[in-house]
Amino acid sequence: MEVIYPRCAGLDVHKKTVVACAMHTKKNGHKEQETRTFGTTTGELQELRVWLQEKGCTRVAMESTGVYWKPVYNILEDHITVLLVNARHVKNVPGRKTDVSDAEWLADLLRHGLLRGSFVPPREQRNLRDLTRQRSKLVEERSRQVNRLHKVLEDANIKLTSVATDVMGVSGRAMLEALIKGEANATLMAELARGRMRTKREALAKALTGRVKEHHRFLLEQHLIHIDFLDEQIDLFSRQIAAQIDRLSEMPEYQVPAPSSATGASEQSPEPLTYARAIELLDTIPGINRWLAEVLLAEMGIDMSRFASDKHLASWAGVAPGNNESAGKRRSGKTPPGNRHLRKGLVQGARGASRKKDTYLKSKYHRIAARRGKKKAIVAVGHSILVSAYHMLSRNEPYCDLGGNYFDQFKRDHVANHLVRRLEKLGFEVLIEDQQPLTGNLVG
Report pTM. 0.86
The reported pLDDT for the residue numbered 436 is 65
94 pLDDT exceeds 70?
no
- pLDDT of 96 > 80? The answer is no
Calpha distance 205→213 (Å, rounded): 18
Summarize pLDDT for 321-359 with one digit per residue, the tens: 877 777 777 777 788 888 999 999 999 999 999 999 999
Give the model's confidence band at 111: pLDDT under 50 very low, under 70 low, under 90 confident, else very high. Answer: very high
Is pLDDT at 143 greater than 90 in this prediction?
Answer: yes
- Residue (of 49, 50, 51, 46) closest to 35 by Cα position: 51
Is the pLDDT assigned to residue 270 strictly greater than 90?
no
Amino acid (one-letter) located at 361: L
* 71-76 mean pLDDT: 94
Greatest extent of the chain over all pairs of C-alpha atoms, in Å: 93
Reported as a pLDDT band with limits 50, 70 and 90, residue 437 is low
For the domain covering 7-111, report its CATH number. Answer: 3.30.420.10
Q: What is the pLDDT of residue 264?
A: 47
pLDDT of residue 131: 97
pLDDT at 177 over 90: yes
Per-residue pLDDT tens over the stretch 294-317: 999 999 999 999 999 999 999 999
